[in-house]
Amino acid sequence: MNCLCLVAFLAIVIAQSYSVLGVEAASSDGFVSRKGIQFILNGKPFYANGFNAYWLGYEATDPATRFKITYALQNATTNGLTIARTWGFRDGGYRALQITPGSYDELTFQTMVNRVNTFTKIAYKDEAAIMAWELMNEPQCKADPSGKTLTAWISEMAPYVKSLDSNHLLGTGLEGFYGDSSPERKTSLNPVAANVLGTDFIANHNIDAIDFASIHAYPDLWFPNLNETGRLDYLSYWIEGHMEDAESILKKPLILGEFGKPTETPGYTQAQRDAVFVVTFETIYESAAKGGPAAGALFWHLISDGMNNFKDGLAIVLSDKSSTNSIIGQQSRKLRLIGGGKGKLSRKIKN
């Protein structure tokens, strides 16, 4: 089976100073690894409070827009965020990696091809600032709703990626929808529309070369007719169900790779967005504090001032003095205390 999109999202540990918070910077020589249902960094549990920023590669291509990345990462550091999840692909359009099938933009693609950081001279496979790779962002196969085709693809691609890079963790990038291997979960947790997407949370992750489980959470988009209380209840149930299965069946850590609250939701208020973040963070923290499989959550998505063209109804600007941003910073501090005590801004997940 051919690999058409081998690397979709990259999990990169941000190696910046925590000077604003008055804590130490992350060690640059340690890779995040897995021990049972936990991530480990330098011998201690590692927890991720982070964000998505799919636009990093896009803005980095033009020297005139690179300052936006600096501002965004500075704001992330100030709020104690440890993970940036970004695209390692871009097909078609402006500043694309692959302009058309088989045709590549060398200016945009060169660092991916050479696999050596221009400034540090370190190959990506040896770069400790990278936490993990994901095979694809939200992989689906509607042609085979059973999930078997996608499982076969992951079973082939995951060992292949590991053969190229044995230093880094590897994930799937899945949204977390259940399949035929978990009929009860499929009935109780899946949105009806997800049953034809060809994914299977258990089977797709129950592969030796896959190091951690991935889910996303968008109850507003999946259940537009539910009221706000119903969506929050579902959000908690969705995360908790996957935590149970990650621990008891997969025996792997779980990352909530995307979540957020669309401002376009009818009747939207700031308090509603805060509630989504509180439910998400509390559920993650309760598991982490007990040594459970929940390793962290990454909101969708971070932008900085002046990036209005990237506003999609879910964007977070950390330089704003909002109640949501305070909740984000508080979660960072709580996870830091149970993950070694001296919080370290660390890494990236890429797909």
Catalytic site residues? Answer: 138, 258
Strand partners, 33: 40
CA distances for 105 relative to 4, 55, 57, 60, 116, angstroms = 17, 17, 13, 14, 17
Quote the tokens at residue 224: 């537009």
- The Cα 202–Cα 313 span in angstroms is 31
CA 45/CA 115 separation, integer angstroms: 29
Rounded CA separation 191/214 (Å): 17
Burial 4-24 (b: 16+ CB within 10 A, else e): ebbbbbbbbbbbbebeebebe
Angle (deg, nearest 10), helices 270-289 and 228-245: 20
Query: What are the φ/ψ torsions at residue 4 (nearest 5 degrees)?
Result: -95, -25
Strand ranges, E, within the chain: 9-13, 33-35, 38-41, 44-46, 48-52, 83-87, 98-100, 103-104, 130-134, 169-171, 213-217, 254-259, 294-299, 302-303, 316-317, 347-350
Residue from 274, 293, 291, 268 nearest 331 by CA: 274
DSSP secondary structure letter of residue 131: E
Q: What is the DSSP string of 71-96?
A: HHHHHHHHTT--EEEEES--BSSTT-
